[in-house]
Structure 1
Amino acid sequence: MRKLVVTENMTLDGVIDMTEGWFDPLAEDVDQSDIIAANTEHQEAADALLVGRHTFETFREFWPKQTDDPTGVSDYLNAVHKYVVSSTLHDPGWQNSTVLRGPLIDKVTALKQASGRDIVATGSIQLVHALIAANLVDEYRLFVFPLVVGRGARLFESVKVNMELLETRPFVSGAVLLRYAAQ
């Protein structure tokens, strides 16, 4: 069975939404080569991306337009099979995209049971909260940045999640990757 991996960029205080503008994936003033290498490893282990409609539309409007992307994210997102959970989106308008409708647990369970590599969920706060509540997440890959923003949506809100630490990896920028298996 495939693993469902939640990958999030977050602040020290657990904020994952970007409304405060604290995260720039293409920032040139910080050495991100080690983070890019870690992301490349994760991309090679996955062949599916699971997102909610809002994150999908944000990605669709930004990443395909990046012609000089040193991170490799645009190439990955254009190539990977994207599954977008939405009851309102009809034409995804991005290659390799499928709209998932119907009961979330059934759809995600079917994806996990299909052959393939990891399924990565990122961004998509409401979707990720629902996946956590349904106990569908197998692994968390948390890129924690040395910043406190004080407000915003957090990854874990009013839910208990038992985890086993798999890896810690510090980066030159001061960010740290924390990998956990859900238990």
Structure 2
Amino acid sequence: MRDLVVTENITLDGVIDASEGWFNPGDAGETDLSDVLAALEAQREAADAFLVGRQTFEEMRGYWPHQTDDPTGISDYLNTVAKYVVSTTLQDPQWVHSTVLRGLDEVEALKAQAGKDIVTTGSIKLVHSLVAAGLVDEYRLFVYPVVVGKGARLWPDGSPTTTLHLAETQPFHSGVTLLRYRT
């Protein structure tokens, strides 16, 4: 059985929606992100599957395959890893190593296969569905020292009480902190 890991960039007040402009690692300026990039690389090495919803998939497909000078390794990873997109409307993913899953039952079947971690990021609607279905094994939250006051949250209002177990904390030079929780 594989672990399904939700990885999110998140604000102190729980917002994962970056539309307010709080998340822009390319604008880090003098901030040293090498330790964050090392943590992301370790996560990539522990995973052999990447799971996203259709909207996030299409945004990534329009960007990452075209990056030819990416020192972070993210482009190479996304172009080679097995990608799974949950969608009822997408027919042809048009990105190498991509498979369309039609629902959460297929995600559950993917988890039952042998392999490394399955990582999902972004994909707010999908993540909410995965949480509600009890399919998440671990949360890796890159907490940014920002409060935005509005936006989509990892756990929206009305979510049931959930007890998580702290597995790791890792502060970074930039002020970001990785919190790993197991369900």
Alignment TM class, shorter chain as reference: over 0.9
**What one-letter code is carried by the residue in structure 2 that aligns with 1:126?**
K
| CA distance in structure 2 between the aligned counterparts of 1:57 and 1:17, rounded to whole angstroms | 17
Structure 1's consecutive aligned runs of 4 or more residues displaced over 6 angstroms after TM superposition are: none
Task: Report the Cα offset of residue 17 of structure 1.
Answer: 1.1
Q: Does 1:37 align with 2:27?
A: no
Q: Percent identity?
A: 64
Alignment of 1:104-183 (within 5 A): 104=104, 106-157=105-156, 158-159=158-159, 160-182=161-183
Instruction: Name structure 1 gaps, 5 residues minimum.
Output: none
2:82 maps to: 81
1:12 matched to 2:12? The reply is yes
Task: Give the CA deviation at 1:26.
Answer: 3.1
Amino acid at match of 1:8: E
What's the TM-score, normalizing by structure 1?
0.95
Question: Within 2, Cα distance between the matches of 1:27 and 1:113?
Answer: 40
Q: Is 1:47 matched up with 2:48? A: yes
Which segment drifts farther, 114-123 or 24-33?
24-33
Q: CA contact under 8 A between 1:26 and 1:71: conserved in structure 2?
A: no
Q: What is the CA-CA distance between 1:181 and the residue it aligns to?
A: 0.3
Q: Which runs of 5+ in 2 are unaligned?
A: none
SS in structure 2 at match of 1:132: helix
Inter-partner Cα distance in structure 2 for 1:82 and 1:25:
23
| Amino acid paired to 2:18 | M
User: 1 CA distance for matches of 2:47 and 2:25?
Assistant: 19
